[in-house]
């Protein structure tokens, strides 16, 4: 839902560029099996905020990279993101994503695995088209980080609240791709390595904040808006920051027992705990942590070249923690 004033402020410089990124993504199915084209069309039609391409474009433009290279990079990153979602939804058995049917809800597991693989391949092809060995390197490294994070999540004990594990998980899942977006954009620009480290830090910090806010929205949103059941993560045994904060604030609530010891609580316990978390200061505490990340991201930007792009990045960072709760 890209509609608030803030969104407009950071999207304006991008108005003509995002459609070119979309077009690059759509073109990747040309010359391949028609069902792949249909699948890609379906996946891309669900829209999404295209926040990773926006971050890559703004960062690269701020640092003087060529627009054409940035469009290639942005399409590559968004396809990488899309491919990981395809396999994730298959693994989770999710039926809806952003309110529309997931691929796995309509296709066989086999076709879904292969479509994800195909989109990975196209993302890698686009990354190679940036003609930067360094970009390719961090692209591949990011894919490894994301998948390693998913595997760790699968094997780690369910239900236990562990702040460090949570941070590692959201880094692998989300912040690593924001880092890729900013660092790769810098690599395609004339910026020196000091500036590159700065924007990488910015990407890391806002990526962490972005995932924390997503995890908060999982508790505070209602099912019709988010397109999935409230606290779906916790119901699947995945403990996110609101639950971690709640446990820290209410260590004696018997409903939190499983967050300390693991195990599978009853639906009644989960329902009650979700209500407790929603009504508690845990949401505010988690939000405070997200704001901390955004603040460090903004601090990092201080020395960056002034201009509409920098201002748009600032607006975007603020938007992350001001999305409708």
The residues binding its own copies (CB under 8 A) are 32-33, 35-36, 87, 90-91, 109-111, 113-118, 120-122, 124-125, 127-129, 131-133, 136-137, 139-141, 143-144, 146-148, 150-152, 154-155
Helical packing angle, 163-170 and 133-155, nearest 10°? 140
Query: Which tokens is 314 given?
Result: 């600032």
Give the shortest CB-131-to-its own copies separation in angstroms.
Answer: 5
Give the shortest CB-90-to-its own copies separation in angstroms.
Answer: 7
Give the shortest CB-37-to-its own copies separation in angstroms.
Answer: 11
Q: State the Cα–Cα distance between residues 14 and 21, nearest whole angstrom.
A: 10
Which residue, 83 or 231, has its beta carbon nearer to its own copies?
A: 83
Which residue, 187 or 317, has its beta carbon nearer to its own copies?
A: 187
Give the shortest CB-100-to-its own copies separation in angstroms.
Answer: 21
Query: Which tokens is 48 given?
Result: 């999404």
Strand partners, 97: 100
Q: State the Cα–Cα distance between residues 244 and 273, nearest whole angstrom.
A: 12
Query: Which tokens is 281 given?
Result: 């200061």
Give the shortest CB-275-to-its own copies separation in angstroms.
Answer: 30
Which residue, 125 or 284, has its beta carbon nearer to its own copies?
A: 125
How far, CA to CA in Å, does 262 sit from each of 32, 170, 256? 46, 20, 10
321 by DSSP, 3-state: which? Answer: coil
Which residue, 118 or 219, has its beta carbon nearer to its own copies?
A: 118
Which residue, 155 or 224, has its beta carbon nearer to its own copies?
A: 155
Give the shortest CB-166-to-its own copies separation in angstroms.
Answer: 16
Which residue, 12 or 148, has its beta carbon nearer to its own copies?
A: 148
Query: Which tokens is 26 given?
Result: 């759509």
Residues whose CB falls within 8 Å of the CB of residue 262, separated by 6 or more in sequence, listed in order: 157, 158, 159, 160
101 by DSSP, 3-state: which? Answer: strand
């Amino acid at each position: 839902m890209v509609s608030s004033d803030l969104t407009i402020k950071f999207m304006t410089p991008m108005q003509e560029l995002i459609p070119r990124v979309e077009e690059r993504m759509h073109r990747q199915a040309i010359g391949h099996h028609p069902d792949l084209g249909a699948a890609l069309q379906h996946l891309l039609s669900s829209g999404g905020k295209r926040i990773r391409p926006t971050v890559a474009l703004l960062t690269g433009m701020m640092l003087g990279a060529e627009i054409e290279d940035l469009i290639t990079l942005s399409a590559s990153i968004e396809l990488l993101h899309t491919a990981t979602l395809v396999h994730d939804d298959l693994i989770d058995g999710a039926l809806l994503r952003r309110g529309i049917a997931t691929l796995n809800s309509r296709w066989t597991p086999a076709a879904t695995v292969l479509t994800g693989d195909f989109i990975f391949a196209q993302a890698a092809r686009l990354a190679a088209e940036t003609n930067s060995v360094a970009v390719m390197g961090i692209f591949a490294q990011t894919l490894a980080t994301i998948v390693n994070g998913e595997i760790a999540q699968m094997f780690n004990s369910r239900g236990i609240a562990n702040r460090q594990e949570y941070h590692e998980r959201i880094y692998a899942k989300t912040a690593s791709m924001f880092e890729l977006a900013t660092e790769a954009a810098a690599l395609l620009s004339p910026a020196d390595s000091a500036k590159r480290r700065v924007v990488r830090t910015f990407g890391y910090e806002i990526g962490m904040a972005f995932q924390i806010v997503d995890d908060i929205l999982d508790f505070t949103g209602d099912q019709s808006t988010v397109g999935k059941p409230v606290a779906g993560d916790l119901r699947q045994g995945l403990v996110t920051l609101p639950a971690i904060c709640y446990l820290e604030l209410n260590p004696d609530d018997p409903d939190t027992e499983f967050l300390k010891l693991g195990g599978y609580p009853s639906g009644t316990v989960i329902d009650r705990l979700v209500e407790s978390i929603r009504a508690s200061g845990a949401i505010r505490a988690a939000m405070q942590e997200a704001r901390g990340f955004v603040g460090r991201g903004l601090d990092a930007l201080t020395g960056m070249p002034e201009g509409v792009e920098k201002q748009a990045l600032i607006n975007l960072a603020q938007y992350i923690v001001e999305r409708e709760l």
